[in-house]
Amino acid sequence: MYGMNPELTMAEVYHYQAMMHDHQDAHHALCVLANHQGKVDSTLMELWEEKENQLLGIDLERFWQVTLRVIREELCGHEGFRAKIANYSKSPESAVLLTGLITYLVSIVSVPINPAIATIVIIYILKIGLNIFCEYTDELETDKPKPV
């Protein structure tokens, strides 16, 4: 698979499903993630197509790379987001804090995402860590040859 393996274990998926069972959008996103066997990239693509009510017409690898780039550009320098991630990491069993992170992400990015898409993004960032997410996805961009 390309880039950093965008996958959660089924145990992780079930953990978040149980934690977010009262939150409709998050629970729906996690059910889609379970249907995709924890694969974040294909889950995001399905949720995006569902949101737009049409197929994207882009291959999965390209979709994942573009998604990483856009999210990195929006989040990695955002101190408020970093503070919310740090706050959540102190109480990782708090559905309230996780819901707050999801809602905050929807409100700060310029890309029109919904809470289901934001749920998957947040869970992926929590899995690998914000610093690794920012540094690794930054490397993906800087390692690519620049068009002439």
Left if phi > 0, otherwise alpha if psi is -120 to 50, otherwise beta: which for 129?
A: left
Give the pLDDT band (50/70/90) at residue 137: low
Q: What is residue 50's predicted lDDT score, i.e. its pLDDT?
A: 92
What sign does the dihedral 95-9-69-133 (CA atoms) show? positive
Average pLDDT in the chain: 87
How many whole angstroms separate alpha carbon 26 and alpha carbon 117? 8
Give the pLDDT band (50/70/90) at residue 5: low
Q: What is residue 1's predicted lDDT score, i.e. its pLDDT?
A: 35
How many whole angstroms separate alpha carbon 8 and alpha carbon 38? 5
Q: How many CB atoms lie within 10 A of CB 88?
A: 17
Express each pLDDT in 58-113 by its tens digit. Answer: 787 888 888 888 889 989 999 999 999 999 999 999 999 999 999 999 999 988 88
